[in-house]
Structure 1
Amino acid sequence: LEQNYRSSARILGLANHLIANNPHVFAKRLWSDHGPGDRPRVLSCRNEDHEAERVVSEILNLRFTHGAPWGEIAILYRGNHQARPFEKTLREHSVPYFLSGGTSFFARTEVKDLMAYLRLLANPDDDAAFLRVVNTPRREIGPTTLEALAGYARGRGIGLLAASGELGLGEHLGERQRERLHTFTSLIQTFAQRAASAPTTALRALTDAIDYGIWLRENASSQAVADRRMSNVNELIDWLGALNKGDQPERTLNEMVSHLTLIDVMDRQEEAAGGDRVHLMTLHASKGLEFPHVFLVGMEEELLPHRTSIEEDTIEEERRLAYVGITRARQTLTFSLARRRKLYGELIRTEPSRFLAELPQDALERDDQREPDPAASRLRGLAHLANLRGILGQE
C-alpha cells in the first residue's frame, strides 16, 4: 500500500517530508522504484504575470526541447481565479490548453461581446459580429427588423452593417427601425475611424459610449457580479494593449483582430482535437489524476495555505492539498510563487508558503539561489522560436 507507482523518488521524498507535519494515527511513507528523477524546482517571480510568463516558458522548453506532449503537462492552483494570467499567456504563445472546472476567461459573455465589437470595427462585413452586438446593449432592434435587414442585404449582395445605412431599406422597414439601425451604424463608423490609429483606446472609449457597464448591471444578479464582469472587460482591453510590447509601434486594428481570430480558430481546433492540451485545474480537481510534468503555482501564504484556513486554524487540510499536488507529478515538479500579487485591485507584497519551508531545502533547486545558465537560456529561446515556426506552419 505504500508503494507509489507514479512519482519519482525525489518527488515522493518531498511529499513525505511535507505530510509528516500532519498528525497521523498510522505513519505511512510512500516509496517508489522509478529512480531519483530530476530535482524539483522553485521559481520566484515578480508578480502573477511574470509567474505566468516563467511557467509558460518552461512549458515551451519541455515541448520543443524535450518533446513533451502538451497533454502531459499540468498547471495546478488553489483557486480558479489564479488561472487567468496563465490562460492569457498560453494564448499569446498559441499553446492549447483545457480549463477544468470554471469558465474560461475568453469564453465569458462580456469578453466575447467586446471581441465582436473589435471585429466589427475592423471588418464592417463581419455579419456574425454585427448580429452579436447590434442589440448589446439593448437598442430595440428586434428579430423582425433583423430578418428584413438580412433579406435586403442578401438582395443587394452586401453586409448587414452596410445595408443598415442604405436609403433603399426604407421599402422594407419603418422609419423608427431604420433610425435605430442608422444610429448603430454611425456609432460603429465613428469608432472604426478612431480604432484605425489607436485600437485599444478606441475600444475603451466605445465601452463608455454605449454604457456597457450599466448594461452589465441591469443584467446581473448583483452589483458584485456586474463589477466582476466589468473587471473582465477592462482586463481584456488591458491585455490587448499589453500585446504591444517593447518599442514597437502599436499593433494595427487588423493585426489585433487577426490575433483574436487565431484564438477563435484554436478554440475550435482544441474542441475537435480533444486530448493534447495543457491541463489547468485546481488542486481539488486534480485528485486521482497524474501527469509527467506538474507546475504547482501560487505557493504563497493566503493562497496555499488559503487565508480562511489560516484564520480558522485548519492548516492540516491545506497541507494535504499541497501533498496531493506534489504527488500528481511523475517526472518533473516545479513550484512557483510571486513576490507581489494583485488583490482587490491593489498590488500587495506576499510571503512564501510555509509549506515550501517545510520541504527539505537541499532537495530543491531554487532559481534565486543559483547563477544564470546561458546555455539553458539559449535552449529556452530556441524553444520559443520553434513554437513560432509551428504557428506559422514552417516546421
Structure 2
Amino acid sequence: MTGPEPDGLPRVVVAPDKFKGTLTAVQAAEAIADGVREVWPGARIALVPLADGGEGTVEAALAAGAQERRTEVHGPLGEPVTARWALVPGSAGASGTAVIESAEASGLAHVEPTPATARAAHSGGVGELIAAALDAGAADVVVGLGGSAMTDGGSGALRALGLSVLAPDGAPVPLGGAGLLTAERLDVTGLDTRLAGVRLRLAVDVRNPLTGPEGAAHVFAGQKGADAATRRELDAALRHWAELLDGAPGVRPFRVPGAGAAGGFPAGFLALTPARLESGFDLVADLVDLRGRLAGADLLIVGEGSLDAQSLAGKAPVAAAALAAGLGVPVVAVAGRVTVPGPDLAAAGIRSAASLVDVAPTPDRALADAATWAAHATAGLLRRLPRPGGSPAR
C-alpha cells in the first residue's frame, strides 16, 4: 500500500460477490460505492464485481470489459433458452477467451424442480455454448459451474459436442442423468475435434467427488427436486457413467475432488477432453485482474449475502481478503448478514464488517431494498474507520 493520492483522496477497491436473491455483484458494488462516496466524497473507487466461478462469472467478465454474446440453446428440459456469455478478445490478433456459465444454459432457474425434472435435466445447452465459443474462435474457454438443474455427469454437453451414448440396441439413450442407466457404450468418433486443441477450464468452488455419500447426487440433487429414491437412482447412474468413461480411449483421471460440481459435469470432460479443474475464485480474479486493481489501493471492501462459516472455507470475500493481505491492503466487509465472530474475521484478514440486517429496521426491509441498506451499512462502517491519510470521516 502506497498511501492516498497527493490530493488526499483515498483509493478504494469495491469487490463484492452477489448478495444471492437480492443483488447481483454489479448492483452490490454500485450500492457499496454509494456508501463510500457519502463518507469520503471524491474517493477514487474501482468497481470489481467478483464470483466464485459459478453464477455471476459471466457478469464479472462483462463488468471487466468483455464483449457480451447471446446464443439460443436447449435448456435443461429441451426448451429453447437464450444464454448470455462473454468473449474477451485476444490482443494483436490472438484468439480470445470465452466465459460461459452452466446456469445460463442448464440452470435450476429454468425448471420447476421435481423428481421427474431431476431425472431428466441435462447439460446439453452448456455443450452448445462451448460449441458457440469455438465457432467464435476462442482458444480459451472458461466454464463456470454452479446453479445447475442437471445430474448427468456432463454427458448432455458432450453429446451436444458429438459424443454418442448408446443403448444395447445401438440407439441413443435418453438425455438426463437417469438415461445413463440404460447406456452400454460410448462412441467418441464424432466428438468435436476442436476440443483437443482448446484450453478448457472448469471453474469449481466445491470439492465433492462424482459419486458416493458426498457426491453430486446425494449432496446436490435434493435442491434440484430429487427425493431420496431419485438421489439413489442418480448416484447409480453416475457410477455407471464412471464405468463407461473408464473404458473410453484416452481416459484421464476424473475421480478427483470437484468432479461432482454441477451434477458431475467435470467428470465426462476430464475423461474425454483436455479439460482441467481450476479454483473458481482464482480464475475469476485473474479474469478481472484483481491483483492489478489492488496495487496501490488504500482499502478493499468485499461482500456477499451471508458472511458465515462457509465463507471462511475460501469463498470469494475471504479469498479476496487473503490476496489483499499479501499486498498490504486493509480489508473490510459488507454483507446481508454477518455471523462470523470478530476474531475469526480478523484471522481471515477482514478488519471489520457491517451487515444490512443490523442497519435496516427489519430483515424484511433489508431484503426489500438491499441496495439502499448496503449503502447505509457501508457508510456506517467507514465512519468507524480512520480515513487514509489521517483525515476524519464525515
Larger RCO (CA within 8 A; separation ≥ 6): 1
| Rg larger in structure | 1
User: Which structure has the highest helix share of the two?
Assistant: 1
